[in-house]
Amino acid sequence: MKMAAACASITAKNIAPKVTLSQTSYTYDGTAKKPTVTVKDGSTPLTSGDYTVAYQNNADPGTATVTLKGNYTGTATAAFQIYGVKGAWENGSLKATAHVAESANALLIAAVYDGGGKQVSVKTAGLDAGRTAYATGITKTGGYTYKLMLVDKTSYAPLCAAWSN
């Protein structure tokens, strides 16, 4: 007599995991930020084998996200901030991007120097509602270099480290 094989199905648990990050703000330094992630189902901690972690936009100034996917339905996300300023020559022009806290009263300053180290241009840009600023209209010629700084609009005190680069 032949026995029929029994099949069982496993259904993923429907939970809304609570995600906590070890750190929610960083200062930009050009390296990828990866805060430690703690995940709980209610008050029960999940083990790292229960989920995978993916980081997005976690190296440049701005808002970065952590997305978790695991042995449950849906995904969970958490955000963290990277504060600071970054610049790059793009198509012969300087593109400087800054990101500061909502409470900061900030101004971005971009100074450009010729190949001999003489300052040839200074541009400032206020920060928009998204707390990001772009310094534009600076053209690269020859061996031009740049330095960037975020300062308080009122006192001109540096908000991050002194000049970049």
Residues 125-146: tens digit of each pLDDT? 776 655 655 656 666 767 788 8
Q: What is the pLDDT of residue 66?
A: 95
Q: Please name the amino acid found at residue 84.
A: G
Residues of the chain with pLDDT under 50: none
Is the pTM value of this prediction over 0.85? no
- The sign of the CA dihedral 69, 75, 78, 82 is positive
| 159 touches 100 (CB < 8 A) | yes
Q: What is the pLDDT of residues 112-127, one digit of tens each?
A: 888 888 888 888 877 6
Q: For residue 113, what are the β-bridge partners?
A: 119, 145
- Confidence (pLDDT) at 94: 78
